[in-house]
Structures are given as C-alpha cells and as structure tokens.
C-alpha cells in the first residue's frame, strides 16, 4: 500500500469506564463534574481473597486492605461464544484481553465496520502494562500461556476479526495508549496498514494497599484518594481502570468511503524526558 499523510480521521469510538459504558455516559460524567472513585467492590474482593491472605500483617490498614479508586464493579462478565472461544479456554484468558475484545467489537459496530473489516489490512495497536490475572488463578492449563501474555491482546483482536496489518502491544507506563495511537498513525502514514485500531486497557485485579507496595513506598498515591489533576491541591495520583479504542483511517480515504468522522488527528509525535527531576516524575517540557 502507498504511504499516506495527515490528517488522520477518527471514524469509530469505543469506551468502557467505571460508571460509563459508552461515550455518552462518559460525557455526562464530565459535564456534571462527577467522579467514580469508590471502594473496591465486595464481589471482586471475594475473587481475590485467597491472594489477600498472603498479605495479612503487611497491610497499611488491616480493616481496609484495598486501595480506593475508580474500579469496575465486576470484570468477569464475558460471552465466549460471541468470539468463538471455548468456554474452558476463556476462563484462563486474562480479563484485560476479554475486555478489549468486547470494546473493540462495540467500536466496530459504532463505525459500521463490524461485518466489513474481516480480511482487511488493519493494524492493531494496544497500550497495556501489567497483567496480574496469573497470580489469581489456582489452576494450570495450556491456555494460560497465551491467555496471560499481554502481546496476545492485539493478536487476539487480529485473529478474531481476520486482520492482516501490524499487531503490537505498547508498554510505556501511563503513556501506553497515547503512544499506541501515535504508532497507529505512523502505520497508516507509512502504508503498513489501511486502517488502524488503537487504544488501551488497564485493570487492577489486585489493588492491595500493602506497606511493601511501590505506590505507598514512593508516595505516588495521593492521601486524599482523588487525583485532582491540574489543581493546586493535587498530592499524588489515584488508581483507576478503563478501556478506550478508536478506529483510524487517513482523512481523504474516510471522506471517499463515506465514513462518519468524529474528528481528525493533525499530527502526533513521541519523545522521552531524558535526565529530568526523577525517573518517575513527568517533565513539563517533554
């Protein structure tokens, strides 16, 4: 395929966040100034009780073992038949992989490409970091190998929808999903793919507030639970979960194909802090 150029059009969107199952609900939360910070649900706490037992005596607060944050109430609701996955295999697939499959499906329906994308030269770029599901499983099964290996998140999407563009996972911490979008744009511009699925997924299956937790040791987590980004009262970050996915296509091609266009990306770039005020701290100039 020949190379293209900016702008790149966003022609499909899928979002799933605590308290918001879609873009409209997320927008309502923002315009109403609401947050979804809450306690870790009892349902999810019960699922990891056997892991929590190993941390007794090491918790910051024995009566409140989990971080407070913006968490989903449940992460185990999944219909494997929709994706032609054996139910037994699905049990051993990490929730992040399952979640991403579902939100990609919703995004493709939003873009009106659910039935048209099969066999296409579409790339998949996924931002993701740590997988903890393997620490919760009490069983051994061959499916654990690919079901709990983060690069398979993108591979699973390509396999499910028969996509032939690049498939990769991006793990750069907080910037993972944004860098995934950048790489997706580069894939379109270079001609590696004709469309690109880009986004990120993060679930914290074990938000245990232990004295040994790196978040507590470095003082990264704010004392007031809430992040308060860009505010003078900000004193640290807060834990949260979510998944967001977009479908990208060069603008001229999206117009030619009659796609619904949410907006355009005029340019993207990537860099690093270099030697700054601390390896874990963001750099304002970068």
Q: Give yes or no for residue 169 having a pLDDT over 70.
A: yes
Per residue in 235-252, pLDDT tens?
A: 778 889 999 999 999 999
How would residue 280 be classed by pLDDT, with cut points 50, 70 and 90? confident
With tokens 């315009």, the residue in question is: 31
How would residue 192 be classed by pLDDT, with cut points 50, 70 and 90? very high
Q: Give yes or no for residue 265 having a pLDDT over 80.
A: yes
How would residue 2 be classed by pLDDT, with cut points 50, 70 and 90? low
Task: Quote the tokens at residue 35.
Answer: 């947050």
Q: Give yes or no for residue 1 having a pLDDT over 60.
A: no
**Parallel/antiparallel/unpaired status of strands 242-250 and 195-202:** antiparallel
Q: What is the mean pLDDT of residues 85-101?
A: 93
**Rounded distance between C-alpha atoms, residue 78 and residue 69, angstroms:** 23
pLDDT at position 158 is 98
Q: What is the mean pLDDT of residues 192-220?
A: 89
**Rounded distance between C-alpha atoms, residue 48 and residue 12, angstroms:** 35
Q: Which helix (H) or strand (E) holds 30?
A: helix 23-31
**Rounded distance between C-alpha atoms, residue 216 and residue 178, angstroms:** 26
Per residue in 140-157, pLDDT tens?
A: 777 777 777 888 999 999
Q: What is the mean pLDDT of residues 77-98?
A: 93
Domains of the chain, with CATH numbers?
Answer: 8-265 (3.40.47.10)
pLDDT at position 223 is 66
Q: What is the mean pLDDT of residues 252-266?
A: 98
**Rounded distance between C-alpha atoms, residue 218 and residue 58, angstroms:** 16
How would residue 129 be classed by pLDDT, with cut points 50, 70 and 90? confident
Rounded to the nearest integer, the mean pLDDT of the chain is 91
């Amino acid at each position: 395929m020949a190379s293209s150029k900016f702008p790149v059009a966003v022609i499909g969107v899928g979002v799933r966040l605590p308290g918001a199952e879609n873009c409209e609900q997320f927008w309502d939360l923002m315009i109403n100034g609401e947050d979804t910070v809450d306690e870790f649900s009892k349902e999810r706490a019960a699922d990891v009780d056997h892991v929590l037992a190993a941390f007794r005596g090491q918790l910051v607060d024995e009566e409140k073992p989990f971080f407070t944050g913006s968490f989903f109430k449940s992460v185990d609701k999944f219909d494997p038949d929709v994706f032609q996955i054996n139910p037994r295999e699905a049990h051993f697939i990490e929730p992040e992989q399952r979640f991403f499959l579902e939100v990609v499906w919703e995004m493709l329906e939003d873009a009106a490409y659910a039935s048209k994308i099969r066999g296409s030269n579409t790339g998949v770029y996924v931002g993701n970091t740590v997988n903890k599901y393997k620490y919760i499983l009490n069983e051994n099964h061959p499916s654990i190998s690919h079901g709990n290996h983060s690069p398979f998140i993108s591979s699973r999407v390509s396999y499910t929808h028969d996509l032939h563009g690049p498939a990769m996972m991006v793990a750069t911490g907080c910037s993972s999903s944004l860098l995934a979008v950048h790489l997706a744009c580069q894939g379109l511009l270079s001609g590696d793919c004709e469309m690109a699925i880009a986004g990120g997924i993060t679930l914290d299956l074990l938000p245990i507030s232990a004295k040994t937790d790196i978040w507590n040791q470095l003082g990264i987590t704010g004392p007031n639970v809430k992040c308060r980004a860009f505010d003078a009262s900000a004193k640290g970050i807060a834990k949260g979960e979510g998944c967001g996915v977009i479908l990208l296509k060069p603008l001229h091609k999206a117009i030619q194909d009659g796609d619904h266009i949410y907006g355009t990306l005029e340019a993207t770039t990537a860099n690093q802090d270099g030697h700054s005020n601390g390896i874990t701290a963001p750099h304002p100039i970068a």
